[in-house]
Amino acid sequence: MDNDVYRHINNVVYYSFFDTAVNQFLIEQNVLNIEKSTIIGLVVETQCQYFSPITFPDVVTSGIRVDKIGISSVHYSVGLFREDGNLTSAQGTFVHVYVDTLSRRPTPIPKEMLAALTQISAPF
C-alpha cells in the first residue's frame, strides 16, 4: 500500500505485515494450507511499537519468534526492518487462537505445527 498523507505507510499496514510474516512461516513449514487446513489461527490480540517510519517503496523484511505456546494459542513477536537498516522499524506482538474451521471453537495445536513453532521459540 502506498504512503498515507503523512508520507509513510499507515499504521494499520504494519498489522498486515505481522499477519503475513506469521502465516508465511507456517506455510513454508508445511503446517498451514490456507485452502485445506482443518484449523485456522484467529487473531485475538495485537500491539505494535513504532521506532522509525517505513515508506513506500521500502522493501520490508520481518523476523518472528514464538514467546509462548498454549494448548490452542500462540504468542508471537514480530520485528519489521527496512531494507537499508539493521534497526527495527517496528516491533509487535501477535496472538493466534487456533480453532476448528467449521465450528470456530478452540482446538489443540497439532503436533506438526507445535514442532515447527518450537523451532522459533524464545528460551524461557
Condensed to tens digits (0 to 9), the pLDDT of residues 43-65 reads: 999 999 999 988 888 899 999 99
The model's pTM is: 0.88
Mean pLDDT within 30-54: 93
Number of C-beta neighbours around residue 66 at 10 A? 19
- The Cα-based distances of 117 to 4, 46, 51, 58 in angstroms read 35, 18, 27, 29
Q: How confident is the model at residue 8 (pLDDT cuts 50, 70, 90)?
A: confident
pLDDT at 1: 59
What cell numbers appear for 121 in the block?
Answer: 521459540
Q: By mean pLDDT, which of 11-15, 45-49, 115-119 is the weakest?
A: 11-15
Q: Average model confidence (pLDDT) for the chain? A: 91
Q: Distance between CA 77 and CA 21 in Å, rounded?
A: 10
pLDDT at 73: 97
Say if CB 105 and CB 99 are below 8 A apart.
yes
pLDDT at 100 over 80: yes
Average pLDDT of span 1-13: 77
What are the residue boundaries of the structural domains of the chain, listed by start?
A: 11-119
Contact by Cβ (8 Å): 110, 37? no
11-119 CATH fold: Thiol Ester Dehydrase; Chain A (3.10.129)
pLDDT value for 123: 72
With cut-offs at 50, 70 and 90, classify the pLDDT of residue 38: very high
| pLDDT confidence of residue 124 | 58
Contacts of 100 (CB under 8 A, 6+ apart): 38, 39, 107
